[in-house]
Amino acid sequence: MRSYYPGFLIFLIHSGALAQTPTPPTTAPSPDAETDITRLPELMHFVAASYPERALSDQQQAEVVLAIDIDAQGHVEHAEVVIPAQPSGYGFDEAALAAVAQFVFTPAQVNDEPVPVRITYRYVFTLTPKPVEATSSLPAPRPVTNFMGLLKTRGTRTPQRGVIVTVFRGDDDHAQGFETTTDADGRFRFFDLAPGDWRVFIDPPGHFPVRETETLTAGERLEVSYLVEKQDYNPFDVLVTALRPVREVNRATLSAQEIERIPGAFGDPLAVVTNLPSVARPVGGMSDEIIVRGASPEDTRTYVNGVEVPYLYHFGGLRSVIPAGMLEAIDFYPGNFSASYGRGTGGVLDVRPKELKPERLGGYADVSILDTGLYLEAPLGDLGALAIAGRRSYLDFLLNAAIPEDAPVKMSMAPRYYDYQLLGTLRLSENQRLKLFFYGANDEMRLLFKNAGDIAVGLDSGKLGAEISLHRGVIEHLMTLGPGLVNELSLAIGRDKETEDVFGTYHIYLTSWQEQLRDTLRWQVAQQLRLNLGLDLIRRSADWDVHVMRPPDKEGERAVATDADVVRTAKATVVENAPAAFLEAEWAPTERLLVVPGVRIDRMDGVEEVSVDPRLTLRCGISDALTVKGGVGQFHQQPTDDELHESFGNPALRSESAWHT
């Protein structure tokens, strides 16, 4: 089977033509390709090869035969030389390989399905000598570069490779024009252009075009530098690769760019969530808890890229524990969330770290009246990228400086918080990627009253303090198993700690370890159907020592108290396993209708129950301006540890159940 492609002119040189012309490629299919391949790839984006300077100087010509592997999206995965150029040593092989690596084809197809394919491609380097007067015996002069330039991206100053640069002059009846292509460093050059004004036109994909007029002077060479501006800027990400499909009826997604522009949040990403509809804070507002549609704060689950965390805010909700520089977006579900989430009957807040793709070293400093944060990111060559961030408050310095020495109270540790993050991505191969994310936060406050007796009779100590902390380490592995088949695996381990001391009389000591494993297999069965199958396993061990005043009665309890109930004491070690599995389908029977059925199965150790939660959401586009959405689902949640302990609750409690519609 042979397929011919149109030839392309690389560039022309005024006053003596010099040309490189690729010849039509031929496919090299397997023996049964005629019965398998129903449509061959077609070359859509051509990139010119740079003519080797030594070959140009020695007037050498050659041809190179290459084998090109094209993936199912039409991109060149690999290219290799099958028949090298002769004569060798001039760099023809390398120039041809560098050019074809940037080619873009329409995908080959088998029964209308895109498939990878290998083709052969013959690239011919030819020289067309300058015409010489018949009466002249002098050799033709070598081309002289009199207009050259550099093309880069504004802001990042990265070279624009493989972009066509056109120069022209004259009107429609007497137009004269030439074009060339930028090399790997973003450089271009023209030879022997006549003196005078030349119009320059450059139109890089995804950028605003360049339209300039340059004046050339006889006997001089003009060098220019153009900075092209991107049509759409995202200050937190260089390249947007894809958008997640819209599935949930009630999901609100806030990108990092949107978060920065919302007033009243001081650029803090998670503070924006409290401004969304259906979200409130407890009375007083200074709390790190959020109330979603009237549900208790513990009914709403918080995640960082699918990994459960106990909290996302520092003391009083002043700051979030993840900085804006680390974020791609925040997904907030006030209800009817996906079957991939569970163990909650309220809402879901999932923070997605950014996909690192820095092209050079960069970062920022965030200075406010509360704290100072630093963010730094850098590429690691072809391996991946690395980002590091940290923040520390200085309220303790300010308050301690403001409190007089003779004051009855001294802040040995004023409200102080810090957090840290380390994010790295590694490309293991063409179809495997590894992401490492380590982060943590700590909040602490200590007060010292000089005379404890002034507070209450019988107090032996005037110390009052509290500390909370979280630390997480996450490893994520993304692997493409085949066409339409992707597996995402993540393993997380972390420690959480909470300490409260009240005048040496009452205390809460809580330390817990949590291990979580999530594995999701995404299978694109057909163009209209995708299946998501996953496991969500959590193991938690907690030690707590509590000696406190009797908590207020909870909803549904009888308010009966005796003297023995004034103080409650409990020590316990809790070890729980919470395995879960889920299955979800995304079915689009028509262009305007999306049906997402799902089911989740959870095992709850604390109440020894297994829950089966069916869920269904629908999206129907009535018109381009109107979409109808709906959903219904069941959700289960285990009572908290204190609710199941005999000193504070009832060990016979069962799980909570809720229906979202």
Query: What pLDDT sits at residue 45?
Result: 83
Instruction: Kindly report, residue by residue over 314-359, the tens digit of the pLDDT.
Output: 876 777 888 878 888 788 888 889 999 999 999 898 888 888 888 7
Instruction: Kindly report, residue by residue over 202-252, the tens digit of the pLDDT.
Output: 998 888 899 999 998 888 888 998 988 887 655 444 343 443 444 555 666
Tokens representing 34 are 């005629």
Instruction: Kindly report, residue by residue over 360-419, the tens digit of the pLDDT.
Output: 888 889 888 888 999 999 998 888 899 999 999 887 777 777 777 766 656 555 678 899
Instruction: Kindly report, residue by residue over 70-115, the tens digit of the pLDDT.
Output: 998 889 999 999 888 888 888 899 999 988 898 888 888 888 888 8
Q: What is the average per-residue pLDDT within 61-65?
A: 88
Closest among 82, 227, 202 to 150, alpha carbons compared: 227
Query: What pLDDT sits at residue 482?
Result: 85
DSSP-assigned states of every residue in 208-277: --EEEEEEE-TT--EEEEEEEPBSS--TT-S----------SS-EEEEHHHHHHSTTSTT-TGGGGGGST
What whole-number distance in Å separates Cα of residue 222 and Cα of residue 188?
A: 12
- Checking if the pLDDT of 40 tops 70, the result is yes
100: exposed, middle or buried (C-beta count within 10 Å: 0-12, 13-18, 19+)? buried
Confirm if 90 and 58 have CB atoms less than 8 A apart: yes
Instruction: Kindly report, residue by residue over 173-209, the tens digit of the pLDDT.
Output: 677 888 888 988 899 999 888 888 999 999 988 888 9
**Cα–chain center distance at 420:** 19
Percent over 90 (pLDDT), the chain: 29
What whole-number distance in Å separates Cα of residue 612 and Cα of residue 598?
A: 11
What whole-number distance in Å separates Cα of residue 289 and Cα of residue 282?
A: 7
Residue with the bigger pLDDT between 558 and 294: it is: 294
Confirm if 96 and 39 have CB atoms less than 8 A apart: no
Query: What pLDDT sits at residue 118?
Result: 87
Tokens representing 312 are 């996302």
What whole-number distance in Å separates Cα of residue 43 and Cα of residue 3?
A: 11
- Checking if the pLDDT of 13 tops 50, the result is no
What whole-number distance in Å separates Cα of residue 167 and Cα of residue 193?
A: 10
- Checking if the pLDDT of 581 tops 90, the result is yes
CA torsion through residues 452, 453, 455, 457, sign:
positive
Q: What is the average per-residue pLDDT within 587-615?
A: 93
